[in-house]
């Protein structure tokens, strides 16, 4: 009975908008995790409709969780990364073996990831208004989830074995918004500056060229996804140092070495003989 009254009190706080920001984030994480698990029972033909529902729920719940400080361009940018992560994770979820032993741990990690991602969005939301000490950590977490999102989505993109021009379109739709969000987070202005826009366009162009080359390779989807995620890591890493005025030749070479190592692994593991 005590649990019932606590639940009733919590629901009343939700309807009265009296719950704390942390409670909102936990509620969002639980709701999206529950929706993800229910997709296990959905017919395969309904997977894209299901993902659409998850994406819409993410937009609504993210707006609810961040309500109060959202304004201007933040209404758009701060919702992009959560939506992309949820869409990518749910698409990847369908590729997992159809057994609870595999999908339940993934759903658990998904719930934790949503919570951490929304904490990061909340930090960006507040940091755009006033100085906050956790901003550097938020940048690292934001970059991590951008890479994970690209890996999930690119893995699905290459798994579809589409024509090269569709790979190009898909890569643009996947990477450009994420480049925009990450680069904007280094400035946190009330608008998208020309500097951010130009860098996002150049980074997208480079990534698309790599994706175009990979579309003609006999590459397994996971290697293609790893390659695009590495390209994003290198470009955003260099972009972060460039925006902070700390880009040096040493930093550039360190990132290029990472790219070379991953490229070597991808080439070695590609089955060129068919």
Q: Name the residue ranges covered by the structural domains of the chain.
A: 13-132, 146-274
Cα 152 to Cα 226: distance, rounded to the nearest angstrom: 9
Low-confidence ranges of the chain (pLDDT < 70): 1-18, 44, 68-71, 98, 128-129, 131, 273-274
**pTM of the predicted protein model:** 0.86
Position 201 scores a pLDDT of 96
CA nearest neighbour of 50 among 39, 58, 64, 34: 39
Query: 191 Cβ partners below 8 Å, 6+ apart?
Result: 72, 73
The per-residue pLDDT for 2 is: 56
| Residue 32 near residue 82, CB atoms below 8 Å | no
Q: What pLDDT score does 8 carry?
A: 42
- Distance CA(93)–CA(244), nearest Å, equals 37
pLDDT for the residue 113: 92
Predicted local confidence at residue 10, as pLDDT: 46
pLDDT tens digits along 66-120: 776 666 777 788 888 899 999 888 888 777 776 777 778 888 999 999 999 988 8
Count of C-beta atoms within a 10 Å radius of residue 165: 10
State the pLDDT at residue 9.
53
* Per-residue pLDDT, 183: 93
pLDDT at 16: 46
Distance CA 191, CA 171 (A): 24
Contacting residues for 251 by C-beta, under 8 A, at least 6 apart: 237, 238, 241
Sign of CA dihedral 263, 268, 269, 274: positive
Would you state the pLDDT for residue 107?
Answer: 86
Residue 58 neighbours by CB distance under 10 Å: 24
């Amino acid at each position: 009975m005590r649990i019932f009254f606590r639940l009733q009190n919590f629901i009343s706080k939700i309807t009265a908008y009296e719950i704390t920001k942390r409670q909102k984030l936990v509620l969002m994480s639980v709701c999206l995790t529950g929706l993800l698990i229910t997709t296990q029972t959905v017919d395969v033909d309904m997977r894209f409709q299901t993902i659409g529902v998850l994406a819409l729920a993410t937009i609504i719940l993210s707006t609810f969780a961040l309500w109060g400080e959202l304004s201007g361009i933040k209404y758009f940018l701060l919702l992009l990364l959560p939506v992309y992560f949820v869409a990518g994770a749910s698409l990847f979820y369908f590729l997992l073996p159809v057994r609870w032993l595999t999908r339940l741990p993934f759903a658990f990690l998904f719930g934790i990831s949503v919570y951490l991602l929304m904490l990061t969005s909340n930090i960006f939301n507040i940091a755009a208004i006033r100085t906050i000490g956790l901003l550097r950590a938020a940048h690292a977490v934001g970059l991590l989830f951008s890479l994970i999102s690209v890996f999930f989505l690119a893995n699905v993109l290459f798994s579809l074995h589409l024509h090269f021009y569709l790979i190009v379109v898909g890569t643009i739709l996947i990477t450009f918004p994420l480049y925009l969000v990450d680069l904007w987070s280094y400035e946190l202005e009330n608008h998208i500056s020309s500097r951010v826009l130009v860098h996002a366009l150049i980074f997208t162009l480079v990534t698309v060229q790599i994706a175009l080359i990979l579309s003609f390779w006999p590459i397994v989807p996971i290697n293609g996804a790893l390659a695009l995620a590495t390209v994003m890591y290198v470009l955003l890493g260099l972009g972060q140092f460039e925006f902070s005025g700390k880009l040096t030749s040493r930093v550039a070479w360190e990132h290029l070495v990472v790219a070379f190592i991953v490229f070597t692994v991808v080439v070695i593991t590609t089955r060129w003989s068919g």
